[in-house]
Amino acid sequence: MRIETDFLVVGTGVAGLTFALKAAESGRVLVITKSKPEESNSWYAQGGIAGVFAAGDSFEEHVQDTLRAGAGLCNERVVRRVVMEGPERIRELMAYGVHFDRQPNGELMLGREGGHSQHRILHSKDATGRAISSVLLEQVQKHPNITLTDQLFAVDLLTQHHLGLYVNRGNPDITCYGVYALNYAERQVYTILARCTVLASGGCGCVYATTTNPSVATGDGIAMVLRAKGRIANMEFIQFHPTAFYGSDKQPAFLITEALRGKGALLLDPLKLDRFMPRYDSRAELAPRDIVARAIDQELKLSGLPHVWLDSSHLPADEIKEEFPTIYEYCLAKGYDITKEPIPVLPAAHYLCGGIEVDEWGRTSINRLYAIGECSSTGLHGANRLASNSLLEALVYGHAAAEHARKVASSFDFEYRVPDWNARDTDNTDEWVLISHNLREVQSVMSDYVGIVRSDLRLDRAARRIDLIYRETESFYQRTRISPSLCELRNLIACAYLIIKCAKIRKESRGLHTTLDYPDLLPVAYPTRV
């Protein structure tokens, strides 16, 4: 099957949906997603979205908080642009019908999270992502110029490589003509040709054994760009959320939003139930996530226990139930009443700060290809993301990429010479155990050796093991009919390779990258690029 569209969007998170709605003013948009439309990191976002709305707040303070969290690696121009444009994009959400919590007097109820010097987090109870995504999805589904197709898995980008030409990483003129996408139900690979292609395919939390991300977060867009020889940056900066519920028996690990710490919840050590954060940072529980996650990691190593405690039992019970209903119910079902007792928590892989390198319009190093949202590296987060800045980035870059693509799309023709997918010499196999086994192995290698604290020795061990799994999986891939789980495994291996490679290039400890061998910060910040 061959499909043509003006704009092809891969992903139904906040970034992809935002782009689709804006681009649809100028042409036909096809949005594809590999799972159900609502299965995305966006849907699970809890805490909220950062924006300068409070009377006592200022753009400058939000900028400075973002730069401070980013540990010298943010692009200040990008930070200023996102912070200053943010409120306008958030007002657009409200105009679409997104409801943010308000005080009885009608003013926005603004929360405060780690690293923020002001109350500036707009939220919708503790299910902000769902509130935003459901409204955007509704708008997309009723738009006459947008087609949304789920269960369609983007496998690879179409470039000159598919015309039989040699493409390498140094080539400045690689061009994207669309994607090959697997329709599971039909077991058929579609050739989708587009004037402009947009990757809004999210992060790669599933490369670790414990993650807050849903199972769709397998870094597919990033791996596709790697294979297409595009540029990728700063992959070593993986944010571990300090507080996922310990003992959850399902992936994703259930997140306990830091808005709860913003409200006054305290972290207690596992043995004496004493507060430990004041010993690590003057901002205590409200220090940026990397500091809190490292402190918990250290406490766990000291105690030898698998979790610390998070205590909100001293806070007003009615407010906790009102503001954090999802968390309250979840913990209650697990046997903990958060208004009466502490809950066990541990860090979990949560957010990717690096990704596909893009410019101010979300343009990648590959012509006609944009990347927006968590799969991209814009320069906003630097070495560490400030809480609630990622939904903001998805909105601002979804808008910017659409503005640009709308202007240029009509000047591009479809590339009809791209051949259809070739499944010759591949077959169904009965060796599916290889996929699940190799996936578990990738995840445990990454968690054991490339987690919160790294070293040269650990990275070398990880690199050797990932290389072995890579070779085994590639040989399996060459002879096997593709499936989503096989594609995801390949993509996670590619992301593991990128994270390790960037971590090895960085000879310092900065932001989310801490290594025992280079504990200091180098005087000049530099990006890592592949």
* Among 32-40, 283-291, 494-502, 510-518, the segment contacting ligand FAD (CB under 6 A): 32-40
In this structure, are residues 192 and 43 in contact, taking their beta carbons and an 8 Å threshold?
no
How many CB atoms within 10 Å of residue 474? 11
Distances, alpha carbon 44 to alpha carbons 35, 60, 311, 315, 338, in Å = 15, 29, 23, 25, 20
Q: Identify the DSSP state of 396.
A: H
Examine residue 228 and tell whether it contacts ligand FAD (CB under 6 A): no
Q: Which amino acid is at 103?
A: Q
SS3 content of the chain, % helix, strand, coil (to 5): 40, 20, 40
Examine residue 159 and tell whether it contacts ligand FAD (CB under 6 A): no
Strands 178-183 and 152-158: antiparallel
Among 5, 21, 22, 44, binds ligand FAD (CB under 6 A): 44
Residues 6+ apart with CB under 8 A from 439: 485, 488, 489, 492
Examine residue 213 and tell whether it contacts ligand FAD (CB under 6 A): yes
Examine residue 11 and tell whether it contacts ligand FAD (CB under 6 A): yes
Whether 275 is catalytic: no
Tokens of 88: 């306008």
Nearest Cα neighbor of 52 from 42, 40, 62, 43 is 62
Binding footprint of ligand FAD, residue count (CB under 6 A): 41
Examine residue 377 and tell whether it contacts ligand FAD (CB under 6 A): no
Distances, alpha carbon 125 to alpha carbons 47, 106, 457, in Å = 8, 15, 44
Examine residue 14 and tell whether it contacts ligand FAD (CB under 6 A): yes
Catalytic one of 130, 289, 294, 368: 289
Q: If you search the block for the tokens 């692009």, which residue do you land on?
A: 75
**What b-and-e string marks burial along 32-44, b requiring 16 or more CB atoms within 10 Å of the CB?**
bbbbebbbbbbbb
Examine residue 390 and tell whether it contacts ligand FAD (CB under 6 A): yes
Q: DSSP states of 349-370 as a string?
A: EEEES-EEE--TT-B-SSBTEE
Among 197, 201, 210, 384, binds ligand FAD (CB under 6 A): 201
Q: Which is nearer to ligand FAD, 35 or 313 (CB)?
A: 35
Per CB under 6 A, contacts with ligand FAD among 327-356 are: 351
Examine residue 202 and tell whether it contacts ligand FAD (CB under 6 A): yes
CA 513 to chain centre: 17
* Least spacing, CB of residue 186 vs ligand FAD, in Å: 15
Examine residue 200 and tell whether it contacts ligand FAD (CB under 6 A): yes
- Tell me the C-alpha distance between 183 and 137, whole Å: 21
* Among 10-18, 62-70, 443-451, 505-513, the segment contacting ligand FAD (CB under 6 A): 10-18
Examine residue 364 and tell whether it contacts ligand FAD (CB under 6 A): no
Examine residue 239 and tell whether it contacts ligand FAD (CB under 6 A): no
Q: Which is nearer to ligand FAD, 216 or 345 (CB)?
A: 216
* Least spacing, CB of residue 456 vs ligand FAD, in Å: 30
Among 220, 285, 311, 357, binds ligand FAD (CB under 6 A): 220
* Among 161-169, 209-217, 275-283, 471-479, the segment contacting ligand FAD (CB under 6 A): 209-217
* Among 13-21, 162-170, 496-504, 511-519, the segment contacting ligand FAD (CB under 6 A): 13-21
Q: Identify the DSSP state of 107.
A: -
Per-residue mark of binding to ligand FAD, 481-510 (x: CB under 6 A): ------------------------------
Q: State the chain's maximal CA–CA distance in angstroms.
A: 68
Nearest Cα neighbor of 115 from 312, 290, 275, 278 is 290
In this structure, are residues 519 and 506 in contact, taking their beta carbons and an 8 Å threshold?
no
Q: Which is nearer to ligand FAD, 151 or 455 (CB)?
A: 151
Among 175, 212, 378, 384, binds ligand FAD (CB under 6 A): 212
Q: If you search the block for the tokens 């990880």, which residue do you land on?
A: 462
Residues near ligand FAD, by CB under 6 A? 10-16, 32-35, 39-42, 44-49, 128-129, 153-154, 200-202, 212-213, 216-217, 220, 255, 351, 373-374, 388, 390-391, 394
Catalytic sites, residue numbers: 289
